[in-house]
């Protein structure tokens, strides 16, 4: 059977995901993937970390604050469609001003 397995860095943080051959007892058969974790990562972890028995959140408070700040900045950026709409509105207002329709 083939299954995802997880390579960790020296701190237990997820480094890479691979697919390996697993035997009926759940042991990794691939020589180059011995020592990788076979327990699936639960959803919702931003920086999965293995604590020798289970996956935990490895994201620090500072990393979380930085990620959330970046997400906020991204959410505030106008979309290409919003930019195009604004440009069109500016052109219309400029044209109406040049024609004396508005001041």
| pLDDT tens string 28-69 | 999 999 999 999 999 999 999 999 999 999 999 999 999 999
Per-residue confidence (pLDDT) for residue 2, from 0 to 100: 94
Q: pTM of the full predicted structure? A: 0.67
* pLDDT band at residue 103 using 50, 70 and 90 as cut-offs: confident
- HEC profile of the chain: CEEEEEEECCCCEEEEEEEEEECCCCCECCHHHCCCECCCCCCCCCCEEECCCCEEECCCHHHHHHHHHHHHHHHHCCCHHHHHHHHHHHHHHHHHHHCCCCC
**Percent of the chain's residues with pLDDT above 70:** 100
Per-residue confidence (pLDDT) for residue 74, from 0 to 100: 94
């Amino acid at each position: 059977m083939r299954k995802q397995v997880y390579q960790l860095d020296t701190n237990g943080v997820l480094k890479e995901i691979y697919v390996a051959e697993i035997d009926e007892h759940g042991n990794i058969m691939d020589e180059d993937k011995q020592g990788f974790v076979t327990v699936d990562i639960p959803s919702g972890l931003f920086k999965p970390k293995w604590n020798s028995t289970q996956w935990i959140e490895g994201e620090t408070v500072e990393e979380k604050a930085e990620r959330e700040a970046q997400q906020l900045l991204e959410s505030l950026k106008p979309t290409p469609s919003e930019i195009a709409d604004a440009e069109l509105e500016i052109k219309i207002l400029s044209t109406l001003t040049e024609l004396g329709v508005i001041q």
